[in-house]
Amino acid sequence: MKKISLWIALLMMGCATPTLAQINEEETVEVTNYQGKKENIELPASMTQELDSLMNLYNAKMHLKADSDCNLPDVNPVYDQEVYKERLAHLPTIIEMPYNDIVQKFIDRYSSDLRRKVAYMLGAQNFYMSTFEEALEAYDLPLELKYLPVIESGLNPKAVSRAKAVGLWQFMLPTAKRYGLTINSLVDERRDIIKASYAAAHYLSDLYKIFGDWNLVIAAYNCGPEKINKSIHRLKGEKDYWKIYSLLPKETRGYVPAFIAANYIMNYYCEHNICPLSADLPAKTDTIMLDRDVHFEQIAHVIGIDIEQLEDLNPQYRRNIVNGSSKLSALRLPADLVNVFIDNEEAVYAFNPKNYVPKRKEAGPTDGGTYVVHNNQVVRIENPNSHAASASATDGNLVTTVMDGNENDATERKTTTATSRSIASRKSRSSSKRSRSSKSKKRTARSKNVTIKNGDTLSEIAERHHTTVSKLRKLNGIKGNSIRAGKKIKVK
């Protein structure tokens, strides 16, 4: 019902605008360039995605609603060019926001055809902007860069481009890995809002060190620094974005104007009669560090949380599996469910593990034979205690079966006992090494004591020292959650 009423509100806002299908069919915009010639440049992908994909996001369904106090008429006023110039000039920004015909085209697109999407983004920004700003502040970057995800993804955390860029900041895989984001079959940290935001800020900081101009930095974020450098080289070192404009890829020609227009519309939406969707901020959350694999279904069944909410809070897990056995992994939960999980952690892991985390630690042939690799072939050594093997061994040979890829084609061959001895010797050495390694690990795994600080919780101490709450409890004989500041606690 909430989703239906939200759609009705959005449709009323945009009743005078073209349909969503018509908007999405347009992937270019006609502009007049600096030479006075008309050209078509590509729109950023975020300006062509359907609104339906945004309204189906968990946060949109659960926390966005039409603002009943906003009664602006659904009319997009037209202003003189001087008005747009003055408004852009008055934005509190470090980055240059010049006005021209190309920027005007993008302002028109946001304020007319995309006004419903702007209403969504004005509401959705409440979920993300504080994280963006904190990341940008950490690298001392202009805060207006927080609107880059508006043109990158349309504030869609699940966005995937045709080029396979992922997440709010639309990282390509090589760049993401270069900036420390983990990507494998189970995890894609490009979807992690916090980690991706800090990686993006780091990348933008590095780009500014290269170009020293924010418009070039923004362009390079879109198409890569190599293409920007080529354009600069062709104009003998010219570093003005608008002078190298005609040498840039078509999608990048529209990127900086779209960024300027996004800054404009996210600040001057009222002047264009756009009512932002109202946002009810989600409940406070906290993280728990896990050292075992667990599926979202196991968590949901035991502690009573919605799967969609788990996916929204933990978007980095591609298969809904927290892979704690690989390395300590964070699980984000509503704050009021953190202790519920801690108290029922063993029950969570014990709930149908074969159905949800079925990966076996060890597996092999079940026929009782011993298999080795010899001369790049899999060799089955017959039971050395059998009569046939003993008879062969007296002749200096051991009967083996060589598996040629098909069990029906298995052929018996003779291999010398020297080979068997060599294999046995290698196994013995390997076993000895494992034994020494195990003893070494036991020696280094001694526990250490830390002092509990004011305000500390078991969850915070566990995260700080890369362990789990359940381990802290076992190590210190703690039954509940109460700990006292100033006391010592064992952490390993």
Q: How is residue 238 written in tokens?
A: 């010219």
Q: Which long-range contacts (CB under 8 A, 24 or more apart) does 155-159 make?
A: 155/54, 155/120, 155/121, 155/124, 155/125, 155/128, 156/46, 156/49, 156/53, 156/54, 156/57, 157/57, 157/128, 157/191, 157/193, 157/315, 158/53, 158/57, 158/191, 158/315, 159/45, 159/46, 159/49
The span from the CA of 471 to the CA of 305, in Å, is: 24
- Inter-residue contact 332 to 314 (CB < 8 Å): yes
Q: How is residue 444 written in tokens?
A: 């280094």
Q: Which of 152, 251, 345, 463 is catalytic?
A: 152
- Three-class SS state of 159: coil
> What are the distances in angstroms from CA 461 to CA 219, 288, 412, 478?
43, 10, 60, 14
In terms of C-beta density within 10 A (0-12 exposed, 13-18 middle, 19 or more buried), how is residue 355 classed? exposed
Name residues whose C-beta falls within 8 Å of residue 402's C-beta, 6 or more positions apart in sequence. 377, 378, 379, 380, 410, 411, 412, 413
- Three-class SS state of 183: strand
- Three-class SS state of 329: strand
- Inter-residue contact 106 to 84 (CB < 8 Å): no
- Inter-residue contact 407 to 365 (CB < 8 Å): no
Q: Is 152 an annotated catalytic residue?
A: yes
Sheet containing strand 370-374, strands side by side: 370-374, 377-381, 397-403, 411-416
- Three-class SS state of 279: strand
Q: What are the start-end ranges of the H helices in 395-468?
A: 417-444, 458-464
Give me the residue label for tokens 């080529």. 230
Which residues are designated catalytic?
A: 152
